[in-house]
Amino acid sequence: MPAKRFPLSKAPFLRLADDSRYRSETIMRNFTIALVPLILFAWVKNGLLPFISNDPVVKTTFIEMIYPLLLVFIGALTSLLAEAFYLSAFMGKKTMKDLKSELKLSFPMIPGILIAMVVPIYTPIWVVVLGCLFATLIVKMLFGGFGHNLFNPAIVGYIFIGTAFTGVITASGGYLNSAEAVVSSVTPLQNFASNPGGTFEQLVGSYGDLWNFFLGTIPGSMAETSSLLIVVSFVFLLVTKVINWRIPVLYVGSVFVLTLVIGLAQGHGLWYPLFQVMSGGLLFGAVFMATEPVTSPKSPSGKVIFALSLGIFTVLFRLVGVFPEGVATSILLLNCFTPMIDRFASKLRAQGLTKKTWSKFAFLTLFFLLLSVYTIVASINKANPASESAAVVEVLE
Amino acid sequence: MLLRKSSGIHIPGRKDMSIGSPIEEFLNPEYVYISLLTQNYVCKPLVKIGDKVLMGQPIAKREDRFSHPLHSSVSGEVTAIKKMWHSTGKMVEMIEIKNDFLNKADSSIRLNTDLDALTKETIIERIQNAGIVGMGGGGFPSHAKYTQNYQIDAIIINAAECEPYITADYMLIKTETERLMRGCSYMMKASGAPKGFIAIKKTKLAAIEALQAIIENHPRISIFLLDDVYPAGWEKYIVERIMKKTYLCIPLEVGAIVNNVQTAIAIADAVEENMPLIHKVVTVTGEGVANPHNFLVKIGTKANDLIAKCGGYVNPEVEQYFIAGGPMTGTTMIFDELIITNALSSIIVKPKIDISVNPICIGCGKCAEVCPAFLTPTEIKRAFEDKDIQYLLDLGATNCVGCGLCSYVCPSRIELTDATTRGRALALKG
């Protein structure tokens, strides 16, 4: 009898991924599940509440009620179809079986869902479709498909829509749902951009108080206003080990610390950094966009560098630059540096703090410090042009 | 990022399969095969085909700077020098000895009477003559650790046995506690170390109990409890925790000598009765073995004899891996005619898991998170594929211990361990 042959393989012979709970598919599925509460909140806030309202001015039609859900559905569908088209037309996945197994592993719907969640409420469907097509075909597939894209498709798609179709979006209702359009006229960050030195009453008071910011009943993009639900989703993602705590916590933390200093220098209290953290897309971006694994650094120390830079750039763009947001732009900017950060951080991590590497550590720290100081000084100046020199002295002290 | 202390992650032990069976003796195989390959060195045979040999007689010699003899593990006749399957997954030259079942021992094996008046040199000489090598998997000649110019502060017995499935050391500690302690004392004497530690996982309660029962007789030896993580049995992990400092290449740099449980017991035997290294405890286990067992065997026994002793395979028709070594670092074999060498501690038969399509790297960074040597496996893989040696060196690829954790945690089943160990080899070659 010939000797029995055994199959060959590579160590280790125990893998977490043997269990489907730890596989990539499950990770991406859990990521999508974490988005569901936010989508439902967007629907309740922008669709259901105006629909059941008794106020005839606010009252909307049925189509307008389901519009938020429709937008997410269309976004997901567009991305899926675009990717399927690209795979079959240009990457040789002709048969249905090939296409199916490929799509199962490339998670095609996520960019579409994310774009639909961050656009303003009455964005026309064709604009979202264009954004999703741009994100999937150009940002994701042209770079080589899932795992090879340099930029976060959803972020680029969003910026594409935002820059190319601002007029269209504003004309069709913009950031305010029908109820909000009656009550207030702008989002908190637009308000802030026109009045950077504003007081509590001017910045927060016109939207109620900070609780409204926390619960999400303020004007803003479709699904990113509720800080509470984003924190809940964040905890879910942490518990299911989909994302690592480093990027969201350090990103939001650095924004908080920087704006705290800026606020204190202007004589504002704790409300100022909380207002900055909870308005706009910061929390949503930090939890769902900046953590996108393919386009964020892989090494733990790289994640730290990435998150701190994001925080500083967001404050810089938001408080000093002309755009009211700053989140998407800074993520896009840092995406360019991800491969570099990874190289740099993994070398530092492997070698540790030695005589050879301390200069790199020192350089990095100095860079962050200088950039933070500049951000602080510049934003105080912008907020309070009159007391320019006084603010500088205060910071330096 | 700055605070660097290797941690590990908990891996389910799966040791219950073989933990119930006491160590069974299997000392009379028909043939034994003594491997001429120790570590990376091919030893020179001292016998010819047709020679009669005694149990414990030197039959080959390692001749580099770590010189030591290899011994016949049975008495009988040298019948061939041929290639057999080695636990590295390759075929290696081995001396085949036909057992005459008489177990005639070499005259040097006798009880020594000078145990109270041992000098440092006698102990080291006996360790060298007994051909004792590290039995935890490294196979490094033990005597060489005592002849270097370092001040030794502690002897550490590595009893972590952190790989899943394996239970050989655990069973040995329970039954041979006294010999283990004596071995540790001899090692302390040979090195001049004032302290001895037995590093054991805190979950191995029965073994800790056995150790505690006699620890009072050895005031200079203490038990050091390790967390139940993988790789708690890595030398650096243990030394970092006990000595509170870390080293670059070898534990001697911080004044520690680390040896495995089986090595310590073999040293006790060598010092007391000049017994060479011819026995070994191996665990034969896995889902594919009918009755998993721990065996005390002669070195050079064929693994398929042990499998037969365990009742054979459970599902012979299903495709299974035949693994030499632990499930995290072992090697799959094509045939089960594997020869048990002194550095092999287990044989595992495990059903093949067939997941053919896997996604590409999603970039989660879990591999870098768990790496106990602070490496970034994804970057090392890329550098290896680009054959960028300078970048490999910058990434510290030479520090890879091949523990397997990166592949273990990868949600996309990417062969990271394979890439990093090959990257390490490439970086070392230069």
CATH number at residue B85: 2.40.50.100
The residue-averaged pLDDT of B34-56 equals 90
Residues A260 and A236 in one domain: no
My answer on whether B298 and B392 are in the same domain is no
Residue B59 shares a structural domain with residue B157: no
Interval B390-423: pLDDT, tens: 999 999 899 898 899 999 999 888 899 999 999 9
Report the residue of B163, B360, B382, B410 to disrupt the A interface, i.e. the one with the largest count of A CBs within 10 Å: B360
CA distance B365 to chain A (A): 4
Q: Within this chain, do residues A282 and A395 fall inside the same structural domain, yes or no?
A: yes
Q: Of the candidates B74, B99, B124, which is a domain's last residue? A: B99
Task: Give the C-alpha separation, A386 to A396, whole Å.
Answer: 18
Tell me the per-residue pLDDT of B162-186, one tens digit each, with 9 for 90 and over.
899 999 999 999 999 999 999 999 9
Q: What is the mean pLDDT of residues B183-196?
A: 92
Mean pLDDT of B330-355: 88
B388: β partners: none
Residues of A in contact with B373 (CB under 8 A): 350
Residues B425 and B387 in one domain: yes
Rounded distance, CA A33 to CA A27, Å? Answer: 10
Look at the block and give the residue holding tokens 């998670």.
A107
Asked if A156 and A260 sit in the same domain, the reply is no
pLDDT tens digits, residue range B91-134? 999 999 999 998 888 888 888 888 888 889 999 999 999 999 98
Q: DSSP alpha helices (H): ranges in A153-226?
A: 153-164, 166-171, 178-183, 188-194, 200-203, 210-215
Give the residues of chain A that fall short of pLDDT 50. Answer: 1, 391
Q: How far apart are CA B155 and CA B250, in angstroms?
A: 14
Residue A294 and residue B335: Cβ atoms within 8 Å? no
pLDDT tens profile B204-238: 999 999 999 999 889 999 999 999 998 888 888 89
| Same domain, residue pair A118 and A236 | yes
In a domain, A195, yes or no: no
Identify whether residues A231 and A282 lie together within a single domain. Answer: no
The structural domain count of chain B equals: 3
A15 vs B: CB within 8 A: yes
Residues B297 and B389 in one domain: no
Name the residue with tokens 């050879």: A356
The residue ranking higher by pLDDT, B340 or B21, is: B340
pLDDT at A182: 62
> Does B7 fall in a domain?
yes
pLDDT of B2 = 43
- Calculate mean pLDDT across residues B239-245: 89
| Total domains, chain A | 2
Say how far apart CA A34 and CA A41 lie, in whole Å: 12
Mean pLDDT over the full length of chain B? 89
For the CA atoms of A109, A114, A115, A121, the dihedral, rounded to the nearest 10 degrees, stands at 120
Same domain as A267, residue A146: no
Which residues 298-337 of chain A have a CB within 8 Å of chain B?
A: 298-301, 303-304
Vertex A49, ends A47 and A54: CA angle to 5°?
A: 125
B1 falls in which pLDDT band (50, 70, 90)?
very low
Asked if the structure places residue B272 within a domain, the reply is yes
Residue A185's pLDDT is: 64
Residues A168 and A317 in one domain: no
In a domain, residue A198? The reply is no
Residues in chain A within 8 Å Cβ distance of B357? 101, 105
Residues counted in chain B: 430
Q: Is the same domain home to A111 and A235?
A: yes
Taking the C-alpha atoms of residue B256 and residue B194, their distance in angstroms, rounded to an integer, is: 11
Contact, A88 vs A189, CB < 8 A? no
Q: Could you tell me if residue B358 is inside a domain?
A: no
On the 0-12 / 13-18 / 19+ scale of CB atoms within 10 A, A126 is exposed
* B207 inside domain: yes
Is B200 domain-assigned?
yes
Distance CA A64, CA A60 (A): 6
Q: What is the span of the domain harbouring residue A326?
A: 243-397
**DSSP of B217-275, one letter per residue?**
G-TTEEEEEE-S-BTTTSHHHHHHHHHSS--SS-GGGGTEEEEEHHHHHHHHHHHHH--
- Domain extent for B323: 1-16+112-353
Shared-domain flag, residues B129 and B156: yes
| Residue A358 exposed, middle or buried by CB count within 10 Å (0-12, 13-18, 19+) | exposed
pLDDT value of residue A394: 53
Q: Which of residues 328-387 of A touch B (CB under 8 A)?
A: 342-343, 345-353, 361
Q: How far from each other are the two terminal CA atoms of chain A, in whole angstroms? A: 87
Residue A99 falls within a domain, yes or no? yes
Q: Quick check: A9 and B332 CB within 8 A?
A: yes
The tokens 């951009």 sit on which residue? A193
Residue A320 lies in a domain: yes
